[in-house]
Amino acid sequence: MIEKPYFLIDIFDSQQDQIDVLSVFLSDIEDFIGFTEYTNHISLCFEKESSSTNALGIIKSLYPKLQTASKTQKTENWNKVWEENFKPVLINDFAAIVAPHHQFVSTVKHCIVINPEMSFGTGHHETTSMMIFYLSECNLNHKSILDFGCGTGILALLAEKEGASVIDAIDYDQLCVDSTIANIARNNCSKLNVKLSDAQSIDRQYDIILANVNRAALLLSCDKLSSSLLSKGELILSGILEADLDVINEAFNAHLSYLDHKQQGEWLAVRYSRK
């Protein structure tokens, strides 16, 4: 097999909140594959040198005191290296998120098998785990669900397991769509409708809309997501920092009623209902 070069940025002595913030900014960079945690540093991986150069500029502008080092590395499969570091995630007794090589967890209500493949949505990040906490509190039986920005499809998969009757999952990234389709088969699900799409193509209304994306995508899609809720429907969103709550509330309160929010570290998940 011909080895492919990858372009790495090692970050030393970083704090978790710094990595969380950087992950939001770096997720918009095309060719950003993901990161691997080691004992004394975090290693970010890119497919193109220009992308790693762009990322380094972002890191330096946000955290100029962080110690970094850039390098090129050849490996047969960086995804495989990353996936080997994927650890199971437990959300109380409601759900376990495991990789295909992990043992099935029988002590929770739902055990979801996810092949990460660098798609967003493994349950490790605070934003995803808070969305799962919200799902554990909802009555999804016979409800219609939209998973907006589905990533690996983890939220849509849980929605089907919880008895939702209609589940649409959309993402603008073909890799995420492919990942969700593959994870549907892994979890013996059959009701999910998955397609490559954005908010503007939503053509029906739902009981519950799940949107775990970033602040920019939420603000851009605010009107469409709000109008796509049925009467008394709920919108549950995440991917925002504590400092962004006011601007998010200002946008969505024009259409919806704020119900409550959850917080883990600097990250929030917020719940709204249709007025």
Q: In a structure prediction context, what are the per-residue pLDDT tens digits for the chain, which is 275 residues long?
A: 345 678 889 898 877 677 777 877 777 787 787 777 666 788 888 888 888 898 899 899 988 888 898 888 766 555 666 566 667 888 999 999 988 878 889 999 999 998 765 445 566 678 889 999 999 999 999 999 999 999 889 999 999 999 999 999 999 888 889 889 999 999 999 999 999 999 999 999 999 999 998 888 899 999 999 999 999 999 999 988 888 999 999 999 999 999 999 998 888 999 999 97
4-83 domain in CATH 2.50.20.10?
A: no
How does the average pLDDT of the chain come out, rounded? 87
Q: What local confidence, expressed as pLDDT, does residue 2 receive?
A: 44
Q: Look up the CATH number of domain 120-274.
A: 3.40.50.150
Q: Estimate to the nearest angstrom the gap between the alpha carbon of 238 and the chain centroid.
A: 9
Residue pair 154/123 in contact (Cβ under 8 Å)? The answer is yes
The C-alpha atoms of residue 152 and residue 94 are separated, in whole angstroms, by 19
The C-alpha atoms of residue 175 and residue 76 are separated, in whole angstroms, by 19
Q: What local confidence, expressed as pLDDT, does residue 75 receive?
A: 61
Residue with tokens 């649409």: 168
CA angle centred on 263, ends 262 and 265, rounded to 5°: 165
User: Which residues on neighbouring strands pair with residue 244, listed in sequence order?
Assistant: none
Q: Which residues, at least 6 apart from 203, have a Cβ–Cβ distance to it below 8 Å?
A: none
Q: Cα Rg for the chain, rounded, in angstroms?
A: 19
Sheet holding 206-212: strands in order across?
192-196, 166-171, 144-148, 206-212, 229-241, 267-274, 256-264
Sign of the four-CA dihedral 249, 253, 255, 260: positive
Query: Which regions of the chain carry the CATH code 3.40.50.150?
Result: 120-274
Q: How many CB atoms lie within 10 A of CB 54?
A: 17
pTM of the model: 0.75
Residue pair 92/128 in contact (Cβ under 8 Å)? The answer is no
Residue pair 270/225 in contact (Cβ under 8 Å)? The answer is no
Sign of the four-CA dihedral 71, 60, 36, 175: negative
